[in-house]
Amino acid sequence: MYQLDPFYQHWLSHPTTGVFRLDDIAPSEFRRSEYFLTYYTGLGLHDELMCFFSSNTNTTLAFSFGFYQPPPHPDGCLLSDKMAYLFPLLQALLEKHHWQSAINDDRAGSEEFIDERLSEREQQVARLFLQGHSAPAIAELLCISPGTVKNHRKNIYGKLAINSQAELFQLFLRQLGVE
């Protein structure tokens, strides 16, 4: 399920080391997405901060700091600033002690959400919905009109015999073997 995570998606599109806040990198409608409602709300997470560290061996280490209480929790901006200050020290420590390449490179997941009933473009639109993008955001990302996105969603739902994004999310979970 991590393939739907906005931090994972951010790393795929912007593989840059540093400190990132959830609200700074997530799609505009992420907090209304099925992924957020299922995963974040299910864990009781209200906010998250991620530090990405990278090595010379194509290995990335991500440290996640989750806030399990509603505001007023520690100020995310303040914590982000403090982590950004400590980041070079932590990066140097990780480099000094070398990277262990025991992290598996699991490519399965949202980028492989395949259903032979869907066209390539419909699969792309379905993945973006699963990641928490709104229809207008998908239209902008794919350089198509919002009406075309709505037509793709209608076709996706019809071909998969579903009626909602929640059902699309359930199909995705089943494909991953999560029930």
DSSP structure class, residue 32:
G
Tokens 């959830």 identify what position? Answer: 22
- Render pLDDT for 88-116 as a digit per residue (tens, 0 to 9): 888 877 776 644 333 333 334 444 556 78
What pLDDT does residue 50 have? 92
Amino acid at site 174: R
Please count the structural domains in the chain: 2
Tokens 């399990």 identify what position? Answer: 68
Do residues 7 and 88 both lie within one domain?
Answer: yes
CA 135 to chain centre: 17
- Residue 110: inside a domain, yes or no? no
pTM: 0.56
- Residue 109: inside a domain, yes or no? no
- Count of Cβ atoms closer than 10 Å to residue 99 Cβ: 17
- Residue 144: inside a domain, yes or no? yes
- Residue 49: inside a domain, yes or no? yes
- Residue 119: inside a domain, yes or no? yes
Torsion, Cα 73 66 38 177, to 10 degrees, reads: -170
What pLDDT does residue 59 have? 73
- Render pLDDT for 11-36 as a digit per residue (tens, 0 to 9): 999 888 889 999 899 998 999 999 99
